Structures are given as C-alpha cells and as structure tokens.
Amino acid sequence: TIRLAANSVYNATLEVFDESKNPVENITTEIVQEADEHIFCFTPTNVNLNIIRTDSDGTYEVGLASQWIVGNTSVGTTQVVLKHQPGVKDGTCAPGDTDVELNFVTEIQ
C-alpha cells in the first residue's frame, strides 16, 4: 500500500530488484545504462494523484525519478509498469514489452 498525505508533493525515485536471483540483484543500474530502451508508466486509478516523470535519456522521459502531485483524500490504485522498448521508444507507453507490472493500493489521507 502507498500512503500519501493529501495536497502534498513528493519527489520519488525507484530502484528495481530481481528477486528471482540469489542473491537478489539490483537492476536499477542496468535500466540507467539502457535508459534509451526503457520507460516507467504510472497509471493512478480512482485516486487524486498526478505523476510526472522527471528524468530522461536525453530525448525521452524514463521515470526512475518522478514527482507525485497529490490532491484530496481518496483511495484507489496506482499501476507501475516498466516497458522495454529497444529501437521503438517514442516517449509513450504503447510500444515494447512489459518487463515489470505492479499494482499498489493507494491511499491519500
């Protein structure tokens, strides 16, 4: 569950871990090195939240860093998807393959 204070702004950073490996592997550096092939897509649903990616690969946003602009009290979900887009990255979430897809209950209090 993600819990946020109403009418606030958060600057967020993501780290990505591959828990299928032993030991667990932090793959954030790989995403940074291949930033021109990756984008994080954020989809808040039924929650007063706007998420803006604040980093880029030099051309398009990536999403390892983002700003979360929180509105009034609400409860919903936030989907976070990491898309792998080698050769097709265009700044949108449509092309490419999904590397990671997570859904979080999101509470604005």
Structure tokens at 100: 């990671």
- Do 11 and 65 form a contact (C-beta atoms < 8 A)? yes
pLDDT value for 44: 99
pLDDT digits (tens, 9 = 90+) for 68-90: 999 999 999 999 999 999 999 99
pLDDT value for 55: 98
Structure tokens at 23: 């030991």
Determine the Cα–Cα distance for residues 96 and 80; give it in Å rounded to an integer. Answer: 15
Structure tokens at 2: 């993600």
The pLDDT-based confidence of 65 (bands split at 50, 70, 90) is: very high
pLDDT value for 103: 98
pLDDT value for 92: 97
pLDDT value for 39: 99
Domains of the chain by range and CATH? 2-108 (2.60.40)
pLDDT digits (tens, 9 = 90+) for 1-35: 999 999 999 999 999 999 999 999 999 999 999 99
Q: Alpha helix (H) ranges present in 12-102? A: 28-33
